[in-house]
Structure 1
């Protein structure tokens, strides 16, 4: 199933399951000539990372062989995030994807209904009030 996982990873590179993440600048820094002050929120997108031609030549091309051998450089392929904040469900998702892929491929013929359908990407919606919640314990 190694090649199947490479196919799944390439699919997630082209259409990442997560949009990205907000981070707060812990110090002032300069990026692309712009000063980002400490405390500002920045939004990093998985999509732009996965489409960077520096790390993925011909970024629009579907090529599962990108993941053979040692694969992409660290933190250039991050559909589940990276580092200490990586999605804790990553391995479960991998197993679920492989089982699903096996069943679909072995039981169905797949054909695109709209062969050249475009995919639009938007940033994640952000609640204006911060999405407060109330937690109450279950009653036994």
Structure 2
């Protein structure tokens, strides 16, 4: 299931389950030429980092091999689908098991075809298929 998890990670890189969040600035700092005073709130957006060309080569291309093998590593906080640091989602490992089990079950028991081709993804505020991702499921004969 290593490849399946790499596919899931690439999906979360391109469409993170958490759009972003607010963080309170704990000391005066500067970032990108801007002074940010202590006490201000800043909003971080995962997609901005996940689609950064200096971190992910050819970020627009779907490439699960980015996450294959131990040699593939990224800068700290450059891949944050479940946030990071002390406030990381406590259910991220549970979500991993859920994703792997559901994908495994769907792949071995069903074939499917999409009904809306090239469906755009909307963000309201989380990524979601604009038409709800209608598909036709066909149970595989065993």
Query: TM exceeds 0.5?
Result: yes
TM class by smaller structure = 0.7 to 0.9
2:98 to 87, 91, 96: 96
TM-score, normalised via structure 1 length: 0.81
How many angstroms apart in 2 are the aligned matches of 1:39 and 1:104? 47
5 Å-filtered alignment, 1:74-113, equals 74-113=76-115
The structure with the greater share of residues assigned to strand is 2
Q: CA deviation at 1:113?
A: 2.1
Paired residue total: 124
Report the aligned-residue RMSD. 1.5
Partner of 1:114: 116
Distance 1:85 1:30, change over 3 A: same
TM-score, normalised via structure 2 length: 0.80
Gaps spanning 5+ residues in structure 2: where?
Answer: 127-142
State which structure, 1 or 2, has the greater radius of gyration over its C-alpha atoms: 1
Runs of 4+ displaced beyond 6 Å: none
Q: CA deviation at 1:81?
A: 1.1
Instruction: Give 3-state SS (helix, strand or coil) of 1:44's partner.
Output: strand
Given that 1:55 and 1:72 are in contact with CA atoms closer than 8 Å, whether structure 2 keeps it comes out as no
Gaps spanning 5+ residues in structure 1: where?
Answer: 125-140
